[in-house]
Amino acid sequence: MSLHRFILKRLLSIIPILFGVSVITFGLVYLTPGDPVDQMVALNPHVSPSDEATLRAQYGLDRPAWEQYLLWMSNVLTGDFGQVYSSGRDVSSVVLQRLPETIVLGLFGWIFALVIAIPAGIYAAVNKDQLGDTVSRFLALSGISIPNFWLGLMLILIFSLILGLFPVLPPSREPLYHPRMLWYLLLPGVTIGTAAAASIMRVMRTSMAEELNKEYVTAARAKGLPERQIVLKHVLRNSLISVVTLAATLTASIVAGSVVVEVVFNWPGLGREFIMAINGREMNLIMAITLFTGFFVIIANLIADILYAVLDPRIRYE
């Protein structure tokens, strides 16, 4: 089947993309002043230049950049992502431990965004230029403009400190898959999903308003179908096509948003780990997190491409 071949092709194309991502990430980290040894011992009055050099040699940081990269790459190909310099722990175990936290948070934020944005977008498009539309457009603009961390802090202030509905700290003693976690996911999920919800809502509204003007809608009305059915069946599916594109792109921004949100909500995910990795110039950790993130973004886009074909029969991948 052509779709199968298309998916296969896209899966294969992940390899060169991730390769590119790894080269760029490596280059950027390499060019940033300071390396892990600096972060560990620089300005430590007891560490001599010779000690530093010895440490660098031990981590292979004294080698030329291309050699470090190749070494890293050949290890990765055997499934070894290296160690966290400061703690000596395996990068892959750190990433795998943090990953579910971020996936759950991101997924929640994403679902929240869709659940809010799609009905809101439909409502706004159907009631275009009426009060409800204006209000929802205002909210969408606010949602896009409000910085994540500020929103997070405000939510904590209002819902945790003033109303006392949520704890400030996530319940770290509960397993992540516990149903009660849904409740605790609300504030960080809302924070991470708000900007996405706002963008999706805007696109949903525009795209739906555009679709509503098309003749097939008049044709559907002429059939005597109820308006609800026309909007939810005929128009929605067509307008979802552009939303799918956006939602896939937003995966990247949700991942990026998780960095800040995880800090504010003390969520033990990859984003928080990433900040620490950057501060510590933890090359191996930075590389692994970037690769994982890149992989997920690519997969999200692949899913979007598959969804196109599902939503729009005219699209065929050959």
Partner 1 sequence: MSEKSYFDGATRRRTLQAMGAASVVSVTGLAGCSDDDSGNGNGNGNGNGNGNGEPEEVSFPLEVQLETNADNSDRVEMVELVAASLEDTGYFETNVETFEFNDFVARILNPEYGDRGHIGCVGLSGTFNPESFCNALHHSGNIGQCCNMSGVSDPELDDMMDSARFGIEVSQDPDLRRERYDEIWHYLAEESYSSIANFSVEDAIMNNSVHGFNGWPFNEGLLSFALYSPTENQVTWMDDDADPRETDLSDVQEGGTLRVGVVENPDSFDPPYSSDTTSTFVQSLIFEQLVTSDLEGNVYPWLAESYEIVDVQDVDRADYEEYMISVAADEEGAIDTTEQIIVVHPDDDPVGDDEVRVLTPEEAADAVADGVFGMRIQYELHEGVTFHNGEELTAENVVRSYEYYENSNVSAQTFDSVLHAEADDEYTVSVYAQVPDAEAERELPGVYILSTEQLDEIEADDDLDRGDIDPREDLTPIGTGPYTLEEFSDQQFAEYEKYDDYWVEEMGVDTIPWFDGPAEFPDGPVIDEIELEFIPDDATRSGALQNDEVDLTYGLATATLDDFDASDDFIVDIVEAGAYDYFQTPLNVEPWDDKRLRQAFNHLIPREVIVEEVFNGYRNPAWTDIPELARGLGTADYDALEAEIRPTNEYDPERAVELIEEVIADHGYESTV
Partner 2 sequence: MTLLEVNDLTVEFYTEDGVVRAVDGLSYEIERGEKFGVVGESGAGKSVTALSLMRLIESPGRIVKGEIRFDGTDILELSESEVRDIRGNRIAMIFQDAQTALNPVYTVGEQIAEAMRHHLGYDDEEARTRAIELLDQVGIPEAELRYSDYPHEFSGGMQQRAVIAIALACDPDLLIADEPTTALDVTIEAKILKQIEALAEEFDTAIQLITHDLGVVAELCDRVMVMYAGQPVEKASVEQLFYDPKHPYTVGLMSSIPRIGDRRERLQTIPGTMPDLVEVPTGCSFHPRCPYAEEACRQTEPQLVDPDTGDVATDAAAERAAACLEYTGELTGGLDYEVTVEGDEQLPIGDEADD
Residue 97: which of partner 1, partner 2, none does it interact with, CB under 5 to 8 A by kind?
partner 1
Shortest gap between Cβ of 87 and partner 1 (angstroms)?
A: 5
What part of residues 267-296 is at the interface with partner 1 (CB under 8 A)? Answer: 268, 272-273, 275-276, 279-280
What part of residues 10-39 is at the interface with partner 1 (CB under 8 A)? Answer: 33-35, 37-39
Does position 222 interact with partner 2 (CB under 8 A)? The reply is yes
Does position 135 interact with partner 1 (CB under 8 A)? The reply is no
Stretch of residues binding partner 2 (CB under 8 A), selected from 6-14, 60-68, 82-90, 224-232: 224-232
How many residues contact partner 1, by CB under 8 A?
52
Residue 218: which of partner 2, partner 1, none does it interact with, CB under 5 to 8 A by kind?
partner 2
C-alpha to C-alpha distance for 173 and 132, rounded to whole angstroms? 42
Q: φ, ψ for residue 15 (rounded to 5)?
A: -60, -55
Shortest gap between Cβ of 241 and partner 2 (angstroms)?
A: 8
Residue 174: which of partner 1, partner 2, none does it interact with, CB under 5 to 8 A by kind?
none
H-type alpha helices, 213-235: 215-222, 227-229
Residue 219: which of partner 1, partner 2, none does it interact with, CB under 5 to 8 A by kind?
partner 2
Pick the binder of partner 2 from 8, 167, 221, 232 (CB under 8 A).
221
C-alpha to C-alpha distance for 84 and 82, rounded to whole angstroms? 7
C-alpha to C-alpha distance for 192 and 198, rounded to whole angstroms? 11
C-alpha to C-alpha distance for 2 and 300, rounded to whole angstroms? 20
Q: Is 176 helix (H, G, I), strand (E, B) or coil?
A: coil
For the chain, how many residues are written? 318
In angstroms, the first-to-last Cα distance of the chain is 9
Does position 178 interact with partner 1 (CB under 8 A)? The reply is no
Structure tokens at 256: 């990026």
Q: φ, ψ for residue 282 (rounded to 5)?
A: -75, 80
The neighbouring-strand residues paired with 90 are 83
Pick the binder of partner 2 from 64, 175, 179, 313 (CB under 8 A).
313
For residues 153-182, one letter each, b for 16 or more C-beta atoms within 10 angstroms of the residue's C-beta and e for the rest, the string is eebbeebbeeeeebeeebeeeeeeeeeebe
Q: Is 90 helix (H, G, I), strand (E, B) or coil?
A: strand
Pick the binder of partner 2 from 237, 266, 276, 279 (CB under 8 A).
237
Residues that bind partner 1 (CB under 8 A): 33-35, 37-54, 56-57, 62, 86-89, 97-98, 153, 156-157, 160-161, 164, 167-169, 172-173, 263-266, 268, 272-273, 275-276, 279-280
Residues that bind partner 2 (CB under 8 A): 214-216, 218-226, 229, 233-234, 237-238, 311-314
